Amino acid sequence: MTIATWRNTALALAAICVYQRWQSCAHECGPGPTVAASPVVRPGGERTTTAVPQAQPPLSLDDAAAPAALAAPAVGGKSFHGFKIPAWAMRLTPQPGETLRAYRDRMLPLADLAVAPQRARVARLRDDFGHLDAHQRAELDADVADTAKAIEDRVARAFAGGELRPAALTPMTGVALARDVLDLVDRGNTRFLGSLTDDQRTELASHRFDFADYLLFTAHWENAL
């Protein structure tokens, strides 16, 4: 960020603070409760008025709860090793009392909607690359299916073995799992490269098609939920 940007940001924050301070002062110094004048007859027939405080209407339940609601801290997501997980992200995880089937039914439409454009994109890149013949296309699909199945099995073992339990999950546990997953992706990519000709491998070096990208969006991970 440039010095000019920092300066403009500081000026904007200062203006906001001044405006908020002015609002708070205006609110504190606002008009008090209204009073009604009550006539008083003094001896000798002289009439004067005496100010009588006007009764204020009782606070409603909403009005009484408003200050407490403003003072209460905002409820956020959970914290994991100092990183606060947003509440919306926690909604994407299984909720207390929710069955695995109900969770899958809730998340599947969102997953399909989010992944559909990417699946169409990688399919176009595959069709544009190297003029793959029928055998090479079948080899690519087999590599994707085998790699996806191996990754699902590895993650399932991690769940069954308690590696992904929140109480036992550590950064190094995540690193070990990620390393195993990346090794599986590298093996699938090696098999795919072995099915290509020398000219196709040369073209792949400068082409946007990528095996990991294709695997990520082509495999139907949602079926494993």
130: left (phi over 0), alpha (psi -120 to 50) or beta: left
Q: Is the model's pLDDT at 60 over the cut of 90?
A: no
Convert the pLDDT of each residue in 30-47 to its tens digit: 555 554 555 555 555 555
pLDDT level of residue 73 (50, 70, 90 thresholds): very low
Rg (CA), the chain: 34
162: left (phi over 0), alpha (psi -120 to 50) or beta: left
Q: Is the pTM of this model over 0.75?
A: no
Q: Is the model's pLDDT at 191 over the cut of 90?
A: yes
pLDDT level of residue 75 (50, 70, 90 thresholds): very low
Residue predicted with more confidence, 59 or 190: 190
Could you give the C-alpha distances from 77 to 57, 59, 81, in angstroms and in order?
39, 33, 13
Distance of alpha carbon 20 from alpha carbon 28, whole angstroms: 12
Among the ranges 113-117, 165-169, 198-202, which has the highest mean pLDDT value? 198-202
pLDDT value for 221: 83
> What is the SS3 assignment for 196?
coil
Q: Is the model's pLDDT at 180 over the cut of 80?
A: yes
* Residue range 3-25: mean pLDDT, rounded: 55
Convert the pLDDT of each residue in 84-101 to its tens digit: 777 777 777 888 888 878
Which residues fall within 8 angstroms of residue 33, CB to CB, at 6 or more apart?
53, 54, 56
Provide the 10 A C-beta neighbour count for residue 36. 11
User: Whose CA is closest to 201, among 117, 136, 134?
Assistant: 136
* Residue range 109-132: mean pLDDT, rounded: 90
pLDDT level of residue 105 (50, 70, 90 thresholds): confident
Convert the pLDDT of each residue in 21-32 to its tens digit: 555 555 445 555
* Residue range 188-194: mean pLDDT, rounded: 96
pLDDT value for 143: 96
Residue predicted with more confidence, 167 or 39: 167
Q: Is the model's pLDDT at 55 over the cut of 90?
A: no
pLDDT value for 200: 94
Among the ranges 49-58, 65-74, 81-90, 159-168, which has the highest mean pLDDT value? 159-168
Contact 35, 53 (CB under 8 A): yes
